[in-house]
Structure 1
Amino acid sequence: MTTLRTYRRSWLVKDLVAGVVLTTLLVPQGMAYAELAGLPPITGLYTSVLCLLAYAVTGPSRILVLGPDSSLGPMIAATVLPLVAADGDSARAVALASVLALMVGAITILAGVARLGFIADLISKPTMIGYMNGLALTILVGQLPKLFGFSTDADGLIGEVDAFVRGLADGQAVPAAVAVGGGCIVLIMLLQRLLPKVPAVLVMVVLAIGATVAFDLGEHGVKRVGRLPEGLPPFTVPDIRWDDLAPLCAGALGIALVSLADTISNASAFAHRTGQEVRGNDEMIAIGAANAAAGLFQGFPVSTSGSRTAVAERAGARTQLTGVVGAALILLMLVLLPGLFRDLPQPALAAVVITASLSLADIAGTARLWRRRKAEFWLCVAAFLGVALLGVLPGIAVAVGLSILNVFRRAWWPYSTVLGRVPGVAGYHDVRSHPGAQRLDGLVVVRFDAPLFFANAKSFRDEVLRAVRDVPAPRCVVIAAEPVTDVDTTAADVLEELQRTLRGRGIDLVFGELKDPVRRRIERYGLDRAFGPEAFFPTVESAVEAFRSRTGAEWAATDTP
């Protein structure tokens, strides 16, 4: 409604033109990604139409484009195909995929209503890079047989590689298909690099159809898309068995997570470029509505597309009218020209998917992780191997698990150090970064960069005791407590035990700059009585000065390397 009230007449021509340009990409990609998901090509067009219309009504972004996505295709196939009968019943596959879309829609709508946008952050960038790299390799290998004109029934990356190599060795490759597929890949990549404003996929599709007709490639063993069903997308309530729901639900959770992460990242990127504000929860509701609409019209789960949104933006799109135009043109094609893509060769669709998979891989980002932080590089590699060796759905579970474990690892073993005074610089600083920092005889200032909870409380205790051992005749330990944002009950017990241990050695344990909420929590635990009010100082400086005035200690340079 806001778009209608603020729509400018000068935007109309730009939206119409952008809609036409966008359609040239929506049609071939929609069909290609449907086949990637193991579904008939027509379902990709049905899905594109319904998700574009639904998002135009509910979506907060002016130009974000939704549709079938290369990153979701393998996840849909991994969920649906094991449930399809051995005879490959396409109607059952479509019904399962439609229920999957409805489930994804319900999950994302509920997440949006519950304001759970942070769920998309469960996958860290290093693990997402690894996941996408593994996904790119999985997609590439899975499309190679189609590119070479034959098919395999292998499962898993290693099995697919083995089946493809054996197919080549058995002479199953069709030379004409190899020529068409390879030529289409080269053409798309050259046009995208040399003439980025030219619709590379459209040019490839037109030339591929022309070559198929001109050289009668169907007679040379090249499989074609064939005539698409005529008419509008049919409203369908999918019919499945009750025992299908559990595996579909597991797949829907993974797909929803990837879809949300993709949507939030793309929405943020394009909102920044267009001056809009990101409304993450509204985006989740809108993506849910788009999935639900697709599921009721023989569609499958969708996500946002950075490449299609970029095409619409470059073509001058101003509002979601661009997507409505694209949906209308696809409907006109289905009603008036269902045979338009009859002679499109299947290797050309494989070329569309393969070039899309190459864009998923982030080799430069992987190399950057190696240079910047080895631990995150190995997280990336582990996520890659999870997808490549275990499969797409287990791979997303591995990626999420690794991200959570990485957060836990950082909280479990946070950075801790001893602080000293650097002449001419205010405050107290890490003696590792400043080897010449000054310290007071008998005083240790320790900083532990994490909240204290059950998993790291003993690590904190050990770090304090280690720091004390390195000081001759220690008399006081000051905890620079500004990074300590919480103390749970387990950590409180460890603190009390640590205080008794240090007091038994004649060493005081005091805190500087402890946040008020944490101080109140400590009071509820009764630790303020055990420590006494003299153990809490508003700043580290005040704690250090209290020790100096009490002991007369003088500053001395440290020998810490």
Structure 2
Amino acid sequence: MNRLSRYLPILQWGRTYDGTMLTSDFLAAVIVTTMLIPQSLAYAMLAGLPAEVGLYASIFPLVAYALFGTSRTLAIGPVAVVSLMSASSISEVAAQGTASYVEGALVLALLSGFILLAMGLFRLGFLANFLSHPVISGFITAAALLISAGQIGHIMGVKGRGDTLPEIVYALAIQLGNVNPVTFAVGSLVLISLYASRKGLKPMLVMARMPARPAEIISRAAPLVTVAATTLLATVFDLGAHGVALVGTIPAGLPSLGFPHISLDLIATLAMPACLISVVGFVESVSVAQTLAAKRRQRVDPDQELIGLGAANVAAGLSAGYPVTGGLARSVVNFEAGAATPLAGAFTAVGIAVAAMYLTPLLSNLPRATLAATIIVAVLSLVDFAAMRRVFLYSRSDFAAMAATLVVTLGRGVELGIVAGVLLSLLLHLYRTSRPHMAVVGQVRNTEHYRNVDRHSVATWPEILSVRVDESLYFANSRYLEDQIAEMVTNRPAVKHVVLMCSAVNAIDASALESLDEVGRRLTESGIGFYLSEVKGPVMDRLKGTEFLSSLNGKVFLSQHEAIQTLTKLEYEPSP
């Protein structure tokens, strides 16, 4: 039973489910549903898919996550960044508006789901660590700018398509003379109203002495209100006859279930994009889930989250949806609304299903400019230039990876952008660790502490060279270690003992072990003793299984202080 509950977390929290939790989940679902309906429609348009696909992706995937996910408050569904990545990927295999394009979306969701499930079953959640926070931040900022720029065409009533920012800007620039004034008026008014409601509606209502929670609900419902209002305006004034692009007929009913047509060529083309979507979606989801869980002292299992997200995406692929993941804004709303368990997501799915069955005929006159404005307001909150400044001031190398991700994403597309960021991060990490910080250390007087001679007033002995290396030793820095020790010994002709302080060394690989052997051999030939100190237990366990310790002309000391006491034997007077 315990093993089964590991893969079905619902068996854990379901045992204590009560009426209070039911009420909390239901109220949270009502709030999230009002937010998710316009977002689902908008993000489907962003992905280049029919509007109803966004609704379909918000039904069965939410139920699947409720069964397998560990976060009590993560809200699953279509999100802006994954929608953009999906559009970029599927465009490689089919044209928007075709049946093949929709089929590509289903296959992409299935591939993403199976990849996530495999990662979860093999406990590979750590692979997401290769996406550093600066890379993710740079990618999301660039994606938000791309998304916003891509929606301006809908606001203007012109075609402004493109996969990169230069392409989009050029497409918009050559069509400035074709702007539809009615569409522009509708889009601009919705944009202004949504921005104003996001920034000032809740404070205004609170100042009018409305309780904070109702004020929050009303402000979050603003997109749904604009959808209803602009649909009504389009119907009454026949805006479609004035050139305003409308959503058109949305089929009523639930999605049909079944496998899409899958070919090996399609799998080969979409496999890499599916991997990127899986990893980016997982990183975004698990970061939000862990942040919210910490506020309630709850726990999120990253490997089980992979299974939960994988199940959600498989459900999307089998129910006419497209790739989904956890959304930041919706999850925060779900959390603040009091969601107690993942069942809130299942209740949200019921609300979306009701909307898909009974409300879609009312949305045929919804202006596309309204959905474009909804997307722009939603994604602009993801743009974080302040983070770039903070990273620049703290780490130039991290900023380089962040800036490269942003620039390549804007200039060459989303897939190349994130790949460039990951590769540059890894290269910079290899470069940094290939030249580890090495410090000559001395004794802080009247203590057993040893610190860098260049930073502290410490005691040293001319016959003893104490070197601390502040990095694990591996193939990329092993030669550097050899060269640095050789140079230090050459510059100190009085040295008779070299002590390598290993307090910061968490691992020594085979290449580094060879280098330590070489260092010991050279020092022995020069009549100099070679010693190690403060070697960590796991590192020492591995060294004991080698010939290195037997060939060492010195010994391994438990502490640096023991090494100095043994080597000096009170024969030398410390010099300041």
Task: Name the TM tier (shorter chain).
Answer: over 0.9
The number of equivalent residue pairs is 550
Conservation of the 8 A alpha-carbon contact between 2:152 and 2:160: no
Equivalent residues in 2 for 1:190-205, closer than 5 Å: 190-196=196-202, 197=216, 198-199=219-220, 200-205=222-227
Matched with 1:367 is: 389
Equivalent residues in 2 for 1:265-280, closer than 5 Å: 265-280=287-302
Q: Give the Å deviation of 1:313.
A: 2.2
SS in 2 for 1:387: helix
Matched with 1:429 is: 451
Match among 417, 425, 430 for residue 408 of structure 1: 430
Matched with 1:556 is: 575
Matched with 1:141 is: 149
TM-score (norm 1): 0.93
Matched with 1:253 is: 275
Matched with 1:536 is: 556
Matched with 2:36 is: 26
Query: 2 CA distance for matches of 1:487 and 1:340?
Result: 66
Query: 2 CA distance for matches of 1:207 and 1:167?
Result: 29
Match among 522, 527, 534 for residue 513 of structure 1: 534
Matched with 2:75 is: 65
Conservation of the 8 A alpha-carbon contact between 1:127 and 1:402: no
Matched with 2:566 is: 546
Q: Give the Å deviation of 1:136.
A: 1.4
Q: Does residue 302 of structure 1 match 2:308?
A: no
Change (3 A) 1:456 1:38: same
Q: Give the Å deviation of 1:339.
A: 1.5
TM-score (norm 2): 0.91
SS in 1 for 2:92: helix
1:103-145 residue CA offsets vs partner (Å, 9 max, x unmatched): 1111111111111111221111111111112111211222121
Letter in 1 for 2:487: R
Query: 2 CA distance for matches of 1:113 and 1:335?
Result: 36
Q: Give the Å deviation of 1:523.
A: 4.1
Q: Give the Å deviation of 1:508.
A: 1.9
Query: 2 CA distance for matches of 1:432 and 1:142?
Result: 54
Change (3 A) 1:424 1:128: farther
Q: Does residue 220 of structure 1 match 2:239?
A: no
Change (3 A) 1:16 1:394: same
Match among 191, 195, 198 for residue 189 of structure 1: 195
More displaced 10-residue stretch of structure 1: 315-324 or 36-45:
315-324
Query: 2 CA distance for matches of 1:383 and 1:375?
Result: 13
Query: 2 CA distance for matches of 1:519 and 1:6?
Result: 47
1:285-314 residue CA offsets vs partner (Å, 9 max, x unmatched): 111111011101111110001111112222
Letter in 1 for 2:268: A
Conservation of the 8 A alpha-carbon contact between 1:418 and 1:467: no
Identify unmatched segments of 5+ residues in structure 1.
none
SS in 2 for 1:417: strand
Matched with 2:122 is: 114
Query: 1 CA distance for matches of 2:243 and 2:12?
Result: 53
Match among 2, 5, 30 for residue 15 of structure 2: 5
Match among 475, 479, 495 for residue 454 of structure 1: 475
Query: 2 CA distance for matches of 1:2 and 1:546?
Result: 57
SS in 2 for 1:331: helix
Query: 1 CA distance for matches of 2:332 and 2:509?
Result: 47
1:422-466 residue CA offsets vs partner (Å, 9 max, x unmatched): 2255410112321x3221122211111122222111111122123
SS in 2 for 1:511: strand
Matched with 1:476 is: 497
Matched with 1:386 is: 408
Q: Give the Å deviation of 1:249.
A: 0.7
Q: Does residue 126 of structure 1 match 2:134?
A: yes
Identify unmatched segments of 5+ residues in structure 2.
1-10, 203-215
SS in 2 for 1:444: strand
Q: Does residue 316 of structure 1 match 2:322?
A: no
Query: 2 CA distance for matches of 1:463 and 1:182?
Result: 63
Query: 2 CA distance for matches of 1:246 and 1:45?
Result: 28
Change (3 A) 1:140 1:153: closer
More displaced 10-residue stretch of structure 1: 510-519 or 282-291:
510-519
Letter in 2 for 1:102: L
Conservation of the 8 A alpha-carbon contact between 1:72 and 1:301: yes
Q: Give the Å deviation of 1:520.
A: 4.1
1:325-376 residue CA offsets vs partner (Å, 9 max, x unmatched): 2222222222223222222211111112112221222222111112222221
Conservation of the 8 A alpha-carbon contact between 2:108 and 2:323: yes
Q: Percent identity?
A: 34
Q: Does residue 35 of structure 1 match 2:56?
A: no
Conservation of the 8 A alpha-carbon contact between 2:252 and 2:360: yes
Letter in 1 for 2:67: V
C-alpha RMSD over aligned residues:
1.9
Change (3 A) 1:520 1:10: closer
Query: 2 CA distance for matches of 1:496 and 1:4?
Result: 58
Letter in 2 for 1:195: L
Conservation of the 8 A alpha-carbon contact between 2:48 and 2:97: no
Letter in 2 for 1:118: F
Q: Give the Å deviation of 1:152.
A: 3.7
SS in 1 for 2:57: helix
